[in-house]
Structure 1
Amino acid sequence: MGQLAPLPSLAQTLRLDPAARAAIAADTRRIVVVGAGGWIGRMALAGLYDALGEAAMHDRVVAFGSSTRGIDIGLGRCVTQHPLDRLSDLPERPTLLMHLAFLTKDKVAGMASDEYCAANRALSKSVLGALEPIGVERLFLASSGAAAYAADPNADAALRLYGGLKAEDEARFGDWARAGEGRRAVIARIFNLSGPFINKHETYALASFIRDALAHRPIEVRAPVRVVRSYVALRELLSLVLVKLTARDGATVTRFDSGGDPVELGEVAVEVASRFGTRVARHPMLDGKANIYAGDGDGYARLLERHGITPVPFLDQIAETASFLAAYAE
């Protein structure tokens, strides 16, 4: 077997697209990240830090979450997270806000449905109430592909519940944008992501496969039916969002799916295995209905092209995710 190609440096994986870096540098608004400690929040902060530098980062970017703590954004850098109940205390200033705070679908199993709904609606109410007082002009809402399944009677109950709450948020923050002059909301229905700060390593197949490969274990694909996903690099998605948020012109409300090419988990495993020189063990397949969770790849690709953002190929996504997992090995 030939020598395996080296992984990209962690610094490379944290870099936003040049179009986004230029757009952020040219904009002067404050950037508020709500839900900073999650996967998307950490990547957003890391990309902003890399694009702005320490001084501008300190001046322009403020992070909020459930409590006061330091957020590790890689390369020895740390950002202070403030408690969400202090969001409305920010002085008024033209602001872009990234709303990433949400109790995700995996929390449904451990909570009563009404408790879960109340907790997420309280988060939304808290953020919504702060937008006007602190000067928010542009907002990014990290929605979910699950919103498309909110009314699907054939979908899993937890997915419908989660998706229904996400659909409520889409309507709530879309209405906010339409209610004020000059406001803009960018809403991304996110399906499957890759890249640094990936979490839930045993839940997300891509992370699980890569961890097995890094440990020189065979990659096991246990799904008894076809499972189809479409992956995009989180840094690519955030680059698109930031370019749209900072653009001079744009629709009052824009909603799009994250894209990527549909790929079956067995194919994902083969791609990972070939990158790291391990093997795949596929459990027997049954004749059940395929599990397909994939966004509008063509529409997303057109958006990237329109805004001059270079897509990250899937093999590169694997390498970038592996770079992070190797650096943060348990």
Structure 2
Amino acid sequence: MSRLISSAARSLFTSNVPKGARVLVTGASGWFGRTAVDLLAGTDAQLYCTASTSRTIRVSNRDIDVRTWDAEDVTRFQPELVIDCAFLTRDRLSEDRMAEYITINRTLTSQMLSAAALPTVHTVITISSGAAVYPQDALTLPFDDNPYGYLKREAEQALLGQALDSGVHAVVARAWAVSGGHVQFPRTFAFSDMILQAEGGTGIEIKAPVEVWRRYTAVDELLAVAAATAARRSGIVESGGPLVEMAGLADAVRRVVDPGLEVSRPPMSHGPANRYHNDGLAWRMACAEFSFTPLGLDDQIRATREGLMAQR
């Protein structure tokens, strides 16, 4: 089994997935989807994986067939657990293709809801984002202020409302800032980009000229706690973790990868700090409920680093 998943996360996740479960994973070729597939490695779960294009992906030293969405085929598979990771993220958003962006994401939400409505399904976990509620509930703002967050919040409410009517257990795993070895496009995230910079041996450059504060949670741990929650009830699981500014993150990366590296940063401006994070309480409470101890920042860096090196 892959070492990109912590043993504690794998144990918590698999102990809350019934033996022989039929699991539908949407968005399986992405960061969260690959992590979900890896969490199921070594179990007897039967997988049906979808993504925007048909392909074979390599996860945990095994080939996984990924296919495009086919409603009839999904119905024939008779899934019991749905892990929904399919959504176009904020970086795919552009004004000239806004209509397409909206259509694709609402289609993906519709597919999730149709899967959740199948008579064989008893549990649904969907990946959402802090953007759904930051800086406030996205549905209370004009759509153009936060299109990605609006569409995510719309999907959250649709699923939780449908689950309330049907009796299915549905959990929204709301990711704010995350880490993990299955990261895709690592240069677009400060966490993985700093690790790659450090591996290059020339130092770490913090690119933001203002304070940037985040709380990092490992993706596998967020999914594990979401699965444990879903085994009991519907609800929302917020990611959390220790609060860290980018200078602290850079120091931690340097400490783990190469203490001799230098850290640089542009001159600081007088602009407001970027504080995309919650208070961390919900994550601490969720972990405490299951007696689960999440990885600290250094161990998250080690796990992400191992995955990045494996992708080379």
Structure 1 and Structure 2 fold alike (TM over 0.5): yes
CA distance in 1, matches of 2:163, 2:227: 17
Letter in 1 for 2:38: A
Gaps of 5+ in 2: none
Correspondence 1:292 to 2:284 = no
Deviation sequence 1:88-123 (CA, Å, 0-9, x none): 543264611011110110111264322211111111
Match of 1:270 in 2: 251
What are the within-5 Å matches in structure 2 for residues 120-131 of structure 1?
120-131=105-116
Match of 1:62 in 2: 48
Deviation sequence 1:36-73 (CA, Å, 0-9, x none): 010000011011014x1xxx24xx22111112211221
Correspondence 1:258 to 2:239 = yes
Out of 29, 40, 43, the position equivalent to 1:48 is 40
CA distance in 2, matches of 1:162, 1:116: 9
Greater mean alpha carbon deviation, residues 209-218 or residues 275-284: 275-284
SS in 1 for 2:13: helix
SS in 2 for 1:224: coil
CA distance in 1, matches of 2:5, 2:137: 37
Percent of aligned pairs with the same amino acid: 30
Out of 13, 25, 28, the position equivalent to 1:20 is 13
Letter in 1 for 2:32: I
SS in 2 for 1:91: helix
Report the CA distance shift for 1:87/1:170 in structure 2 as closer, same or farther (over 3 A): farther
SS in 2 for 1:126: helix
Letter in 1 for 2:70: D
Report the CA distance shift for 1:157/1:319 in structure 2 as closer, same or farther (over 3 A): farther
Correspondence 1:217 to 2:202 = yes
Match of 2:76 in 1: 91
CA distance in 2, matches of 1:315, 1:11: 16
Letter in 2 for 1:325: L
Correspondence 1:235 to 2:220 = yes
What are the within-5 Å matches in structure 2 for residues 143-292 of structure 1?
143-149=128-134, 160-180=146-166, 182-245=167-230, 247=231, 249-250=232-233, 253-277=234-258, 278-292=261-275
Report the CA distance shift for 1:130/1:327 in structure 2 as closer, same or farther (over 3 A): closer
Report the CA distance shift for 1:233/1:130 in structure 2 as closer, same or farther (over 3 A): closer
TM-score, normalisation: structure 2: 0.90
TM-score, normalisation: structure 1: 0.86
Out of 61, 82, 98, the position equivalent to 2:67 is 82
Out of 23, 27, 31, the position equivalent to 1:31 is 23
Match of 1:3 in 2: none
Letter in 2 for 1:294: H
SS in 1 for 2:40: helix
Match of 1:5 in 2: none
User: What is the aligned length?
Assistant: 307
Gaps of 5+ in 1: 1-8
Deviation sequence 1:261-304 (CA, Å, 0-9, x none): 11101110111012222220122111101111113412111111
